[in-house]
Chain A
Amino acid sequence: GVFAHLEMLEARAHEAAVKQEEMEQQEEKLARLRARVEELRLQRDELRAKVDLQEKGQLGKEGVVSKPAQPSARAVLEWKIKSIKAMLEVFYLTGISGKLTKQGVCFCISTAYEGTYLDSYYLDLLTKPEVQIYRHSVPVFIPLQQIAKKYLQTDIRRFLSVLYDHLNAYVGRRYQAEQLQEHFSDQIEGTVQRNSLCNLLVFNYNVSCKSRTFPFNVRLLYGDLCCSLPTEVVISCTPNAPASLAETAAAHSDLFRRVALHRVFGFFSSAEGSVD
């Protein structure tokens, strides 16, 4: 029945958490063992050096015994810290990292777009009595509740993956809009109008044709919230624009659909009609 199902889901979540903890313990253990190896090696070198000295006999005034390597404890600690930092860096670079807490697990989703690291968002989850969100820092316009309703109880991995896609796509769209505003403000009339999700962007730019300029109005609709390219592009121009501009509009429209927004203007010189 339902309860059996719930129990099974709870068991699954528990299993996943346990597995992760095991993995982390393994890695910790490995780091410790490595440090131990290092420690022992240093000790061995120390002893070897001592043995050599013994064999060579007493030293004269000249030879000053260079003390063997510094107390190894500090070196070992530094090495440990370095290797843990590297491990954490790896977690961060994968985009999703988690830490077990007293009541459940806390995830950190680090977003990026084309190699630039952007914002990080956090989710504090409880695992008992069922998986639920205790608190979070996800922006309010991301449909978190919807995604949670669909996947949180049944498939945590999928939940995280879908949320990850939403967040990355959002920061990607925002980044493109900001870059466009910053680097091509001279080619755009006014500002880029956007909304919180950056899934509707509207702006105007001028296109010249036969030594006259015509304003183009662009509406970019991003129907797929997990995607950082528009699903629909609507370019409109004034009624008195020459018919040849329709081709230009179509070409531009195609570009907007395929190329990241902040790079589109770089392509315009190669397409028909030049942009002022």
Chain B
Amino acid sequence: MDETVAEYIRRTILRIPRDEIKTMLHKWGFLSEMQLQNINFHQIKENISQDVVQLCEENSADIKQAAVLDIIYNHIYPNKRVWSVYQMNKTGEETDFFDLKDFKKKFKRLLRSALKNVTINFREYEDNAIWIRIAWGTPYTKPNQYKTSYVVYHSQTPYVFISASVLKSNLPLLCQALLVASNYSDIREMELRSHSLNSLKDIVFKRYSQNFQTYYPTPLQERNVTPESADIRIIQENKNERERIQRVNREVFGDGPQPKLEFAQYKLETMFKSDPKMDVLDKREPFRCLVKFSSPHLLESLKYLAPAGMADAPLSPLLTCIPRKARNYFRIREKKGFFPGSFVSP
């Protein structure tokens, strides 16, 4: 077994939390039941990884199998990477019979025709998600297994989720391969990025909870009528206002959990509006300013701003439109009109 493969497997095992190593090796399926039973999973990780490498040596693992282990790891811990969303367009209207074999073949063929040194692995999951792992090399060097790009694609959808690595120069080639394999004609990057892959999927696949007004009763959950306080001498002064805020919030955010985003960024290129007599700036040029909201869970915190009394309800549509417009990067320019929003898609 190659030295580099051994080292790669060793390092991959070290990344896995100790309690999860056994399950992941099971999922990998490369080592037999017997071999797995011989490993002591209670020792320190360094020793566990040494044992695993030893067994992989016995089974003559190569880079392809090691790559599968890496995919499994990233599939279980996708939030360690930053994911961007790309949108594809197609011109024709024919029904597309997406054939997985075909897709894989075309993808590999295009990449390999341009770049000899590249490792490509696929893994499909129950929810029609296709995970692609690509390790990039150059015409003169072997693929760097530590700087990999990951692509997640659901068949027959126009969205691709890419966690690119540092090597941005390979992105155009990757995009081209995706277009050819999935039978689309062009691709562009959306202004939507997050660590949480599932939340990105929820946003573009419209799987998050939107509060649709319908007659059909989703049974009204008994809203927790916790008695405000047992003491009836305490009364809520602004009960009406609180109820109004709750109602408006529910209309905007829905009832369920919000998709998880870490930030929203607004680039303002608007004119500074001042009293014409107080000409603050000599030149009439747009005031450039960047506003960035960060949070471990941005949309949930926005949801609680009004009920917590920190903002007025309803919140600015610039904030609440994030899931609906599927973007968390905005550029706001001057617009002739009452609403200085531009929602320019580059």
Interface residues in chain A, defined as those with a beta carbon under 8 Å from any beta carbon in chain B? 85, 88, 91-92, 97, 99, 101, 106, 108, 110, 120, 122, 124, 135-141, 143, 146, 193-197, 199-200, 221, 223, 225
Mask for B189-219, Cβ within 8 A of A = 1, else 0? 0000000000000001111001011111100
How far apart sit A54 and B62, CA to CA, in the bound complex (Å)? Answer: 102
Q: Which 8 A-B pairs have the closest CB atoms?
A: A122-B212, A195-B98, A195-B155, A141-B156, A200-B97, A196-B156, A108-B214, A196-B155
Please name all residues of chain A whose beta carbon is closer than 8 Å to the beta carbon of B212 when the two chains form the complex: 106, 108, 122, 124, 137
Q: A97 and B215: CB pair below 8 A?
A: yes
Please name 6 further chain A to chain B contacts, defined as beta carbons within 8 Å, in addition to the given A110-B216, A124-B213, A137-B207, sorted by A numbering: A88-B215, A106-B214, A140-B154, A140-B205, A195-B99, A196-B154
Pair B215/A91 contact, Cβ less than 8 Å: yes
Nearest chain-A residue to B201 (Cβ)? A140
B98 touches A196 (CB 8 A): yes
23 contacts between A and B (CB under 8 A): A91-B215, A97-B215, A99-B215, A101-B213, A122-B212, A124-B210, A124-B212, A137-B206, A138-B206, A140-B154, A140-B157, A140-B204, A140-B205, A141-B154, A143-B93, A194-B128, A195-B100, A195-B155, A196-B98, A196-B128, A196-B157, A199-B95, A200-B97
Interface presence of B161 (CB below 8 A) = no
- Say yes or no for B158: interface residue by CB 8 A criterion: yes
Whether the Cβ atoms of A195 and B128 lie closer than 8 Å is yes
Q: B216 → chain A, closest Cβ, in Å?
A: 5
**B332 nearest CB across to chain A (Å):** 22
Interface residues of B in 156-186 (CB under 8 A from A): 156-159
Q: Which residues of B contact A (CB under 8 A)?
A: 93, 95, 97-100, 128, 154-159, 204-207, 210, 212-217, 324
Give the chain B neighbours of A221 by CB distance below 8 A. Answer: 97
Which chain A residue shows the least CB distance to B127? A196
Give chain B residues whose Cβ lies under 8 Å from the Cβ of A106.
212-214
Contact A99 B93 (CB under 8 A): no
**How far is B206's CA from A226's CA once the two chains are assembled, in angstroms?**
22
CA distance A101 to B215 in the complex (A): 11
Is B99 a contact of A140 with CB atoms below 8 Å? Answer: no
Given contacts A135-B210, A135-B324, A140-B206, contact A225 B95 (CB under 8 A): yes
> Is B216 a contact partner of A120 (Cβ separation < 8 A)?
yes
What chain A residues lie within 8 Å of B128 (beta carbons)?
194-196
Determine the chain B residues whose CB is within 8 A of the CB of A195 once the complex forms. Answer: 97-100, 128, 155-156
A99 with B214: in contact, given A194-B128, A200-B98 (CB under 8 Å)?
yes
Complex CA–CA separation, A166 to B154 (angstroms)? 19
Q: A99 near B213 (CB under 8 angstroms)? A: yes
Given A137-B210, A195-B128, A85 and B97 contact (CB-CB distance below 8 Å)? no
The answer to whether residues A88 and B155 also contact, given A140-B205, A195-B98, A200-B98 and a CB cut-off of 8 A, is no
Given A196-B128, A225-B95, CB of A140 within 8 Å of CB of B214: no
Q: How far is the CB of B97 from chain A (nearest CB, A)?
A: 4
Residues of A contacting B158 with CB < 8 Å? 140
